[in-house]
Structures are given as C-alpha cells and as structure tokens.
Amino acid sequence: MFAGLMRQRWIRWDQFSTLAKPLRARLQAEVDLSWPAIIQSQGSSDGSTKHIFEMGDGRQIEGVHMPYDDRVTLCLSSQVGCAMGCTFCATGQMGIIRNLSSAEIVGQVVAMLNHHAHPLDRPVNLVFMGMGEPLHNFDHLMAAFEVLTDAEGLAIPPRRITVSTSGLVAGIQRMGSLARRPRLALSLNGTTDEHRSRIMPVNRVWGLEALAEALGRFPLQSGERITLEYVMLKGVTDSLEDARRLAAFARRFPSKVNLIPFNAHEGSGYEPPEESRIVAFCRCLSEAGLPVSVRRSRGQDVGGACGQLVREGQSRHPKIP
C-alpha cells in the first residue's frame, strides 16, 4: 500500500491519522521539500513554452521558457497566488496560497533548463515576473538567489536576474542594502495615487512619492537602471497625460521604461490599448529622453503571458482519494 501512496506526491502525510505523529511529520517534511516537477508543457507559436509545475504538496505554479537567438529568459514564480490583489492580474485574483521555498524557486530553473537540454555555454536570464510578489517572500527569494548565482550552484551572474515588484518599499530598501543583489524592476502601472490605488491596492500603503524616494536612494552600479514596467489598460492608464506623468516620475532616478500592453484574460473587465495609442505613448516617452521598449508578451496564445498565470481549481487542502 505504501509504495502506491508514495507515488502520489501531493498526499498530506500530516493528516494520515493511522501513522505515528513524528513519522507523519517527517514524511510530510520530505514531500514539502521536494522539488517542483513539470507536469504539463505548452509550446506557443512564438517559440516560448509555458510549464506547469507540481510541488510536493500538490500545489501548482507556472514558469515560462523564452528562447532568443543567443540566450534564454526564464520567467519564474515566487509564490502560489499573490496577496497584492492588483485588479488587472489573473494571479492577483487567486489570492495568496503560500510562499515558495527557496528549493522550489531554484527547482523551476533546473527543471526548465533540463527539459530544454539547455547548452551550458548559453546565457540564462531570470525574471521574477511569474506568479507572486517576490519581495513578499524576501528570505526565500534571496536564499534562492545565492544558490542561483554561486559558482558552486548555477553560476548565473546577478546582473542577469531581475526581480519585479509591485512596490513594497520595505523590501526595496532591504534589497538595496545587500552587497550582492538582483536587478530591480518596479510595476508602476499608474501615474497618480488615485489611479494607481484603484488598480494596485498596495499603493494605499506605499504611494508614488514613497516609491520615488525609495528608488532615488536605491544604490545602483554604474550603468545600471531601474526598469519601470507600465501595463497599458485601454481608457484607464493609456492617456498621453499618463505618459507625461510617467516621464516625470522616471526622470527622478536612472531608469528605463517597459510598456506592457494589457494581456486579456477572462472576467478582468479591462481591454488592451489601441495600437496607435501604444505608438503615441511610446513616442511621448522617448521624446522626453527616456529609454523605452514595448513588451510584446510571449506565450499569449497558451495563457503564459504577463498576468495570465493562474492555476484554476486548486483546492486549499488536496484530499486523499
């Protein structure tokens, strides 16, 4: 019986009342610590692949493998769900289920590189832009960063790792105080406190002024810039006044702007901007002297683009059948 049960990775050993308590705890700890396994992969027409991982407790997360000519970028999750509740984001609508362990964060990288038989000499970029708010899971994130960057670990240079945050100022300050750290990206998405608070509840705790001050004090290396991500929502965040206010915000510290046209998902109530508006918005920022790019999100046709990541039907307590 036990061999069969052991194969079911998601079993809750701690609820297995016929076993002695210490044994239950030990078995559960082993399961909880096990690395995420790829259980489903979906290739997109643009060459990227969305992977679904299952962890020891049966929870599922997603990661995206995006190959370019000379390198690969992996988009990683940091939590199951997210507590931040941004109104335009599918993950935000799930709520928070739990933090990932550092092993589960590193495990996503190892599993994706193995799955794609990644050649060792080809550079790897990591972006924490999957499910979750990475700075809300600070300790596990930074423990994973150590393994990912260590010469004895995956030896990925710190400058190739980017952490994207919705704006947790305490976490930004903590990250800024580290001698070795990833690069920072901020999801700005709104240019007045009123607008930003409406779509990103975290703005009610740390508003735009607090963010600008924290980013202004963030110690940068020479040539380093903070990425400002900006999701364009039709009729909500895509006006040319927004572009001008965004430019004024971005000029307060070395930055580059990454515009992300909204990726639609069911029931969000938002729409992507018109193409002509993306062009005009972009022009307004570059005329203000800012480096700006438009992120044509990859994996859209398989639901793997920014803000589309959600694992449906995850019950809070997987049951023993």
Interface with ligand SF4, residue 308, by CB under 6 A:
no
- Picking from 13, 84, 50, the residue whose alpha carbon sits closest to that of residue 318 is 13
Nearer to ligand SAH (CB atom), residue 166 or residue 255: 166
Q: Which member of 54, 62, 133, 229 is catalytic? A: 62
188 binds ligand SF4 (CB under 6 A): no
Among this protein's residues, is 271 annotated catalytic? no
Task: Establish whether 284 is a catalytic residue.
Answer: no
Residues 105-125: b if buried by 16+ CB within 10 A, e if exposed: bbbbbebbbeeeebeeeeebb
Is there binding between residue 169 and ligand SF4 (CB under 6 A)?
no
Please tell me whether residue 165 binds ligand SAH under the rule CB under 6 A.
Answer: yes
**CA dist., res. 279 & res. 265, Å (int):** 23
Does 89 contact ligand SF4 by CB under 6 A?
A: yes
Cβ-contact 89, 307 below 8 angstroms: yes
* Segment near ligand SF4 (CB under 6 A); pick from 79-87, 117-125, 150-158, 283-291: 79-87
The whole-angstrom distance between residue 110's C-alpha and the CA centroid of its chain comes to 17
User: Using CB under 6 A, which residues numbered 110 to 139 contact ligand SAH?
Assistant: 129, 133
Examine residue 80 and tell whether it contacts ligand SAH (CB under 6 A): no
Determine the Cα–Cα distance for residues 84 and 166; give it in Å rounded to an integer: 8
The correct pick among 101, 108, 166, 227 for binding ligand SAH (CB under 6 A) is: 166
How many residues touch ligand SAH (CB under 6 A)? 18
Tell me the angle at which helices 240-250 and 275-287 cross, rounded to the nearest 10 degrees.
40
For the chain, what percentages of helix, strand and coil (3-state, to nearest 5) are there? 35, 20, 45
Among candidate residues 127, 132, 63, the one with its CA nearest the CA of residue 97? 132
* Number of residues forming the site for ligand SF4 (CB under 6 A): 11
Closest to ligand SF4 by CB, 64 vs 82, is 82
Residues 6+ apart with CB under 8 A from 67: 47, 48, 116
Task: Say which of 86, 133, 306, 312 is annotated catalytic.
Answer: 306
**Nearest CB to ligand SF4, comparing residues 34 and 162:** 162
Closest separation in Å from C-beta 46 to ligand SAH: 16
Residues within window 237-276 making contact with ligand SAH, judged by CB under 6 A:
260, 262-263, 265
CB atoms within 10 A of CB 139: 10
In the complex with ligand SF4, the residue whose CB is nearer, 210 or 280, is 210
Q: Where are the alpha helices (DSSP H) in 180-290?
A: 193-199, 208-217, 240-250, 275-287
- Positions touching ligand SF4 (CB under 6 A) are 82, 84-86, 89, 91-92, 132-133, 166, 187
